[in-house]
Structure 1
């Protein structure tokens, strides 16, 4: 039986890993490092930095190229095919290293708007797999802590959604506050600016951390400019934001 650990690493800060997460890394006999192309090479390097910074004796670190997503057959089918291809890569690397306790470091948290669990389920169809999920600090927690705000207003619900859902379906019904993740297209631009507030953050918990908050009409353009400059400087950016519309 192969013991696969999915370990939440927050937004990349060593402080976002729990003691349980570090212990799981120390028990691993292989850590998979996905490479997402030249423009996101720092993501793999940050994972490797965490291993060398936190572990006394890091296990083998196996970099592998991530397949590209093809959405020509539609978004959902493209995601399904992509997950199938990633699962095959995982399986190939695990077999190559004959790993019994592989681990994967997951940005944010493995249980929150992340496909890692779905990919692991596919691997388990072909390999005898026992799956362990170790949570870390989520990007949502890091955002609210950085801005020193609660996620929800008093006695009100909050919804967590994606940029694509916000663009295609607009503001979710029944909520005043919305947390938006996985938004590479700054979908807040599609919303009316009638008093909507935004709290935005990128590289949360890291030395490069960036925070902007205010009315969407004023803060939105500043976020677009800051995001573009940071992406040009680093080759990648991971950001998240919370929106609140008036009563």
Structure 2
């Protein structure tokens, strides 16, 4: 797998992940849509299926879709460190593009949301990125560390995640479940650990769309909350490193 191919597949897969993920949140949050008021469970399942779709597209690159996953795999020796920057480039660029596409898909709904209530779009940041219900930075980081650790350690503990040919590209999936297995884990994390912070568990998933929210011409939008933006980056990276170290130690 060449560096260019990694950037391409990770970018495409992450773009679809964010397009569908931000799309389900927009469907629930914006008024009017057919999904208005669908609730947290609809959002959580939507993100799980978004992971399945994005990972299936990015299969040739190993379908990391997440800097935390890439870093955890590198720490555990399952991905070459020299390839890490190319994974990250694809993931962050894809996340930004996917968020922009999600906005385009719901552009008329954003506008109607504003027309019906000029203050309504001030609360639309959550369509793009995460935020805490209770703002306690240290504990918000802990939540992201724990949630990301679960995801990355599950991946590293999965026998199918080890590249049999030594290429450094892990093959995800639990037998016949394939990428659906990863989606189920993400849904489980969202239902169980997503309440405090919105479970970013992915620096690109949060930072790329947060930047998109900051630059997109959304009428009446609120702040991108840059003061919180480091939490969904640092927390997942720490969780991934801990998972990688533990996997390395027990291997």
**Greater RCO (Cα-Cα under 8 Å, separation 6 or more):** 2
More strand by share: 1
Largest Rg, 1 or 2: 1
Question: Is the shorter-chain TM-score for this pair beyond 0.5, marking a shared fold?
Answer: no
More helix by share: 2
**TM-score, length basis structure 1:** 0.25
